[in-house]
Amino acid sequence: MKESRKSKLDRRAFFKKSAAGIIGSVGSVYAHTNFRVANDFKRPSSSTDLNWSTINSNFILKNGVTYMNNASLGMPPMIIVDAVKAGYEGISKEPLHGKRKLQDKISKNVIPLLASTFNVKTDEVILTRNASEALFLQTLGLVLKKGDEVVLSTQEHPAALKPWIHRGAKDGVILKYVFIPSPLVSKQDTINRLMSAVSSKTKAISFCHVTRGGHKYPVKEIANLARRKGIATLVDGAQAVGQFPIDIKNLGCDAYSASLHKWILAPSGSGFLFVRDNAKRFFESPFDLKAFTINSFFDPPGTKDYPVRAAVGTALNFINKIGLDNIEKRCRYLSDYLKDGLKKIKDVKILSSDNYNLSAPGSTIFEKKNLDALESVRIFEKRINFHIDEHQRDGHDAIRVSTHFYNNTDQIDLFLDTLNSI
């Protein structure tokens, strides 16, 4: 159901009346006591707010707070909190059996579910603590010698850069940084920039599927071109996974690292590493040199955070039940709404493309003249209890607003009114 222009105007007038009233009304979409509806909801039939209210009642965000920083850390719904709690209870009540039960669940349910969600084989993925750990494993694991070159974009996250800087210092690998502008110009421009840095010494291209600021790279096209030249492609999928359906096999990259505690809404401290079956020969690992599958080859040994890993299954079930296609549409609906509003505010420059091929559904970055982004984060929290983030990178002093399906247009209206008044 499309909201009428009049009701939006009425709401805007209402918002201007009282800050306390606003915060109460915006925060009340999260019904703390209703978390058990998790399995009762229907797949939403459209992107508007009304269809998502039942799903949103699974979240337990503190009343009065509005969370628009999902790109930093996802806000798990109550069923995830319950799942982690149940895992720890199992270990505490009966450590031996509790642990075995969780290990069983992880290998028999969680890994297969993870693999099927992203269309990879179960022995091509391992669970990690986060994307950073996976990025370290994939980058430190690639077999390279002194003088080999690696192409990187200037938009990489420090988590992806650090292991490469280490390889540069320790192994004499040469890092070639390619400047990529914000907003992205076109798919072809991104491809051309990265590929024109390739030389006969290039052994790998390392880049994001979706950058920290929400720019979307053409992974499949880059992986295709690289493969024809015998170059490995190592992808950082931390910001991509959970925002839209992803078929990693079809992308064709050799390694893919991701967070699960961002857009998948899994418990904090969860991520995964994928290494393509027939790319394993390009990698080495200190953990099990003779292993044939990526699981034991790359998986650091020892006792794991079993309750967290088991709860990843609950998160994947929750997300899959809603449908990643639905989540993509809903996130687009909200970020398009946000962008439309930003375009009407004086002195705002949006750095996220309108083109769906170039931007992720959930994250929007923009600059406002004479507004320091870091300062704005403080102002939004102080004035209206909104949590957003800065994006002071790549020469930009930008603000990042990352809206997941649980946000709504009322919250965006309030955000825009406040931005307008700063």
- Shortest spacing between CB 160 and ligand PLP, in angstroms: 6
Report H helices in 123-247.
131-141, 158-171, 187-195, 219-228
Q: Which helix (H) or strand (E) holds 328?
A: helix 324-343
Q: Is the peptide bond before 183 cis (omega within 30 degrees of 0)?
A: yes
- Residue 159 binds ligand PLP (CB under 6 A): yes
CB nearer ligand PLP, residue 280 or residue 393: 393
Q: How far is CA 420 from the centre of its chain?
A: 28
> What residues between 266 and 305 interact with ligand PLP by CB under 6 A?
271
> What residues between 116 and 155 interact with ligand PLP by CB under 6 A?
130-132
- Shortest spacing between CB 308 and ligand PLP, in angstroms: 13
Kindly state the number of chain residues that form the binding site for ligand PLP, as judged by CB under 6 A. Answer: 15
Measured CA to CA, the distance from residue 272 to residue 235 in angstroms comes to 12
- Shortest spacing between CB 210 and ligand PLP, in angstroms: 7
- Shortest spacing between CB 364 and ligand PLP, in angstroms: 14
> What residues between 186 and 215 interact with ligand PLP by CB under 6 A?
208, 211-212
Write the single-letter amino acid at 28. S
- As a 3-state breakdown, the chain gives helix, strand, coil percent values, each rounded to 5, of 50, 15, 35
Site string for ligand PLP, 62-101 (x = CB under 6 A): ----------x-----------------------------
Phi-psi region of 147 (alpha: psi -120 to 50; beta: other; left: phi over 0): left
- Shortest spacing between CB 58 and ligand PLP, in angstroms: 22
Measured CA to CA, the distance from residue 260 to residue 308 in angstroms comes to 11
CB nearer ligand PLP, residue 160 or residue 231: 160
Asked if residues 307 and 87 have their Cβ atoms less than 8 Å apart, the reply is yes
| The only residue of 75, 197, 238, 319 in contact with ligand PLP, by rule CB under 6 A | 238
- Shortest spacing between CB 20 and ligand PLP, in angstroms: 33
Name the 3-class secondary structure at 216.
strand
Give the binding site for ligand PLP (CB under 6 A): 72, 130-132, 157, 159-160, 208, 211-212, 236, 238-239, 259, 271
